[in-house]
Amino acid sequence: MLGILIGAAILLYAAWRLYGPVLARLLELDNNRPTPAVTQCDHLDYEPIEPNALLSQHFSAIAAAGPIVGPIVAGIAFGWLPAILWILVGAIFVGGVHDITALVASIRHKARSIAEVVREHMSRRAFLLFLSFVWLALVYIVVAFTDITARAFVGQLDLGNGEVVSGGGIASSSLIYLLIPIIMGVTMRYTKLSLGWATIIFLPLVGLSVYAGQFIPLDMESLMIRFGWATTADEAKWAAIITWDLLLLFYCCLASIAPMWLLLQPRGHLGGYFLYVALIGGAAGLIVGSLMNQQPIQYPMFRGWQPPEAGNFVFPMLFILIACGACSGFHALIASGTTSKQLRVESDARVVGYGAMLLEAMVAILSLACVMRLSQTDPLLTSGKVEPNVVYATGLGSFLQTFGIPASLAVSFALMAFTTFVYDTLDVCTRLGRYIIQELTGWQGWGGRWFGTIISAAAPAFFVTQQVTNIQGKVVPSWEVFWPLFGASNQLLAALTLLGVTVWLWQTRRAAWVWIVTGLPTVLMYTMSLWALGVMTRGTWQQIQNAEKVAPVSYVIITVSSLLIVLALLMLIEAIMALLSTAKEQAVPASTTAGV
């Protein structure tokens, strides 16, 4: 694994040094052009901050569980080699391009969303289609991430050596973690405490929360039985998961309307550094362990084009199972939703936009290493229920144990890192959903903020409280059904974003490089995501036809999935019409001149 890890790091660094400057030059980044964070500063949504702080915040927001769950699920299904190839090629030439162009497009349009860019360069009809698609995609994202986080807060993880990690302890650590940045934000706001000193003071407290949580576990299952809300262990577990789901969504509502300085900025800053520690510590442990022959590769490199357990072909499923880590449409929402409103100067776009994507690719590679260390007969893979967060936590924990860290603390740290990723995404998604509802309704002010927030949280609340089944009709966790749907809609969102920036760049530059740099990635993402979404929609329809009893949520899923396909195709038609219109306008002067 050592050679793979170092080789990936060198390749990503080379991309940063070589392709990053090329993108900056093509996009004409100019520090003399003031950014919207400066010209529209209101200290609520618009506020310029230092690039290192913004990188931490942006990185922690875009990463979420995506670069962990996706590579693990795809690596187990198809083998680690296809996953690594897509992560590296995707991050450098597709995802990184997607992120930086979305960020630059936003700051060149007063930090407005990609949907607004689409409206200006395509049509109002395309704008409404894009907003509708984005909001539906956000619902899928929130459902998948909320459910997988709630399940991390329930039950216990037996490490097999007499030590146990409590899900309730992880929940306690997470709640403490959420309080720390609020205190940090208030302290910095009303005192002269600098960001540097705030980091020195509050970052160790985040680490302390990991240790303290296991001593004060918030055991929701026991509470369910104690208060008579459940009578059996299975009922208590289900009730506990649903309770955590709803509490997480309630938190998202509050975080969505909180000022940036109170929660999003300090939490993103601390969360980013915490995740840097997880990335660097895990990589260092893997390197040391490999040198000591403690971390050999055991999992197969390639398991075939259609492994029986996977049930699908490598193409197109690999490209949608691994979304974050290679390419993710969600990143464009972050870049044009919150990050563009805080970018100090244009040159920071390369650091924050392209650099964060390459960092996320390293997180994905490290997550994949957690699979590579396992044999196919490992209990984590043969228990009948593979939990990516557990695979990640035990893998990262084993890397950290190389330095003599106790197993329970190492795994607790890894699980806390996992939930830290997710927290940053959940509340940002809800905030973005609120922005979209406000844009569609035109309802501003506190009333519009609360209305948009409640609507954006209510739809995920419906899904997470339903029992859902997979294509075989077996009851499974909500995240397991929604992850492929999230992946397909997320990658299709990336395709729509690339389509929008391609139209914008062509209309403003008329340069051939546009078709290569953003055009080819657009074609790739459109093809793979529509293909995958079509396969899954057909599978759900077959399940509905063959099942004796169909859960109502299945009809909702197939309806939304079909709607996403229709919206994407209509957007493609709008883009083609805009490009043809541009070509026609360009041809008119030429023909007139010829006549003269």
The yes-or-no verdict on residue 453 having pLDDT over 60 is yes
- At residue 595, the pLDDT reads 39
Above pLDDT 90, what percent of the chain?
A: 31
The pLDDT confidence band at residue 427, using thresholds 50, 70 and 90, is: confident
In the chain, the amino acid numbered 478 is S
The yes-or-no verdict on residue 520 having pLDDT over 90 is yes
Identify which of 168-172, 427-431, 517-521, 536-540 has the greatest average pLDDT: 517-521
Query: Mean pLDDT, to the nearest integer, of 102-130?
Result: 88
Structure tokens at 256: 């969505």
The yes-or-no verdict on residue 177 having pLDDT over 70 is yes
- At residue 472, the pLDDT reads 60
Check the CA dihedral 183-188-192-197 and report its sign.
positive
- Looking at per-residue confidence, does 440 or 550 come out higher? 440
The yes-or-no verdict on residue 225 having pLDDT over 50 is yes
Q: How many CB atoms neighbour CB 592 within 10 A? A: 9
Residues 6+ apart with CB under 8 A from 503: 118, 121, 122, 575, 578, 579
- At residue 593, the pLDDT reads 39
Four-CA torsion 86, 90, 93, 95, nearest 10 degrees: 180
Residue 468 has φ and ψ, to the nearest 5°, of: -115, 155
Q: What is the pLDDT of residues 317-343, one digit of tens each?
A: 899 889 888 999 989 988 988 899 999
Query: Mean pLDDT, to the nearest integer, of 388-407?
Result: 85
Q: Structural domain boundaries of the chain?
A: 1-42+54-469+479-582
Interstrand relation of 468-469 and 475-476 (parallel, antiparallel or unpaired): antiparallel
The yes-or-no verdict on residue 41 having pLDDT over 90 is no
Burial 412-438 (b: 16+ CB within 10 A, else e): bbbbbbbbbbbbbbbbbbbbbbbbbbb
Alpha carbon distance 3, 287 (integer Å): 9
The three-class DSSP label of residue 157 is strand
**In this structure, what DSSP letter does residue 517 have?**
I
Alpha carbon distance 260, 275 (integer Å): 20
Q: What is the pLDDT of residues 3-20, one digit of tens each?
A: 899 999 999 999 999 999
Angle between helices 167-190 and 124-152 (to 10 degrees): 120
Alpha carbon distance 58, 102 (integer Å): 13
The pLDDT confidence band at residue 522, using thresholds 50, 70 and 90, is: very high
Q: What is the pLDDT of residues 352-380, one digit of tens each?
A: 999 999 999 999 999 999 999 999 888 88
> Mean pLDDT score of the chain, rounded to an integer?
85
Residue 195 has φ and ψ, to the nearest 5°, of: -65, -40
Residue keyed to tokens 């309307």: 257
For the residues of 178-198, what is the DSSP string, one character each? HHHHHHHHHHHHHS---HHHH
For the residues of 10-46, what is the DSSP string, one character each? HHHHHHHHHHHHHHHHHTT--TTS--HHHHT--SSS-
Burial 96-120 (b: 16+ CB within 10 A, else e): bbbbbbbbbbbbbbebbbbbbbbbb
- At residue 594, the pLDDT reads 38
- At residue 587, the pLDDT reads 62
Interstrand relation of 156-158 and 164-166 (parallel, antiparallel or unpaired): antiparallel
- Looking at per-residue confidence, does 242 or 410 come out higher? 242
**In this structure, what DSSP letter does residue 321 have?**
H
